[in-house]
Amino acid sequence: MSESYLSRGVSPTKEDVKEAIKNQSKGLYPGAFCKIIEDIADDGDYASIIHADGAGTKSILAYLCYKEFGNADVFKGIAQDSIVMNIDDMLCAGVVNNFAVSNTIGRNAHRTDKKVLKALIDGYDEFIKKMQAFDINIYMAGGETADVGDLVCTVIADSTIFARIRRSRILTCDNIQEGDVIIGLASYGKTIYENSYNSGIASNGFTLARHSLLSSYYKEKYPETYSSSINEEKVYSGKYRLEDKFENEYTLGEMILSPTRTYLPIINEILKEDFSSAHALIHCTGGGMSKSKNFGKGLVYTKDNLLEIPYIFKEIQTVGNIAMNEMFQVFNMGHRMELYCNENNADKIINIIKRFAIDAQVIGHVDKSNSGQNSVIIKHDNNIYAY
């Protein structure tokens, strides 16, 4: 378990959640990345997916930047984070178009003003317009803005997204098989549909990233941005201010608030060109690179040819003095989407991915487990990390 994360009140593996839902129905396709239910329109050729997620504590970083520098536009990226954390989960089940979005903004009205609300709403609209350029339809279906200052100290942005999918187009992680290779799609860089360089951090692990990187300046000035239940030594224990130059010409604030990249245009293109070539997709969010352990049956996922680990993760690890086995369990560490396929199809798929100006390569392979239990083996820098 990630001790650095747990000590700040967050579980990377969500064992309590898994225990609480263990008796819940897993839907029509238990091996799917998302729960799939009967079609809401009662069409036997279709199924439905309703998914909920959000930007998490990343909104606290936007809040800090807004308070320090006065530009509410930093919240536009938070809106994108809130949508992408949903749709990129859903695309792992094969859903690539026609999403209906309902957003929920919970705020402390004393600290989060109308400029923040406008930036969040504009952020949803701008991301949707960007996807329309790839013939991907996302529809805003209203939402809720709640003033809940007794519950929320700053602001939180969540979304619930609905879609229907033809059953013949559903992807399920039960399709992962011995002999498959794992293609990692980079979380960093600048795709053809992004406006600026992306650090790769996305929207996971921000409680750990924020407290590991930022200095005690923020602890003294913004006590509303952390829980009183955290040991004082774990609160903003880093060395950086948001305006510090962090990599090349970028500040830490710019890097850590890089909007979560969607892989939707890329996966949509792959599935349109050759649906059968992709056996499965895994979105490396909560659980990081160890996430794949939760899917498939009796498999060993060996990841031994990783993409370059982005600078931001190296700095979190160094400044926060975090063990590498924890880093791999919390963060995507350079690739946030994994595509599983037959080795013969790998080059074709990678070539499609690179049309979008994104790095991709075979980062590992799948073997049968002798124990019958799933496991993940990560080999990096002459070390082996087992999960």
Residue 277's identity, in one-letter code, is: S
The pLDDT value given to residue 21: 82
Residue whose token pair is 């089940």: 93
Angle at Cα 293 formed by Cα 292 and Cα 295, nearest 5°?
A: 70
End-to-end alpha carbon distance in the chain: 9
Reported as a pLDDT band with limits 50, 70 and 90, residue 224 is: very high
Mean pLDDT across the chain: 95
Q: Among all chains, which residue has been given the structure tokens 């199809």?
A: 345
Instruction: Output the six-digit token pair for 253.
Output: 């604030």
pLDDT tens-digit readout, 70-85? 999 999 999 999 999 9
Confidence bin at 13 (pLDDT 50/70/90): low
For the segment 252-276, the average pLDDT, to the nearest whole number, is 97
Per-residue pLDDT tens digits for 33-73: 999 999 999 999 999 999 999 999 999 999 999 999 999 99
How far is 3 from 277, CA to CA, in rounded Å?
Answer: 39
According to the model, what pLDDT value does residue 14 have?
66
Q: Are 320 and 310 in contact (CB under 8 A)?
A: no
DSSP 168: G
Q: Nearest 5°: phi and psi at 157?
A: -120, 115
The domain limits of the chain are 3-386
Q: Domain 3-386 belongs to what architecture? A: Alpha-Beta Complex (3.90)
Which residues on adjacent β-strands are paired with residue 143?
Answer: 103
Neighbours of 252 (CB within 10 A): 23
- Among the listed residues 151, 72, 70, 154, the one whose alpha carbon sits nearest the alpha carbon of residue 109: 154
Task: Starting at the earlier edge strand, list the strands of the sheet with 99-107.
Answer: 37-38, 46-54, 155-166, 99-107, 138-147
Q: What's the pLDDT tens digit per position in 301-341?
A: 999 999 999 999 999 999 999 999 999 999 999 999 999 99
Q: For residue 80, give every residue at least 6 positions away whose Cβ sits within 8 Å of its Cβ, in sequence order, or none.
A: 123, 124, 126, 127, 259, 260, 262
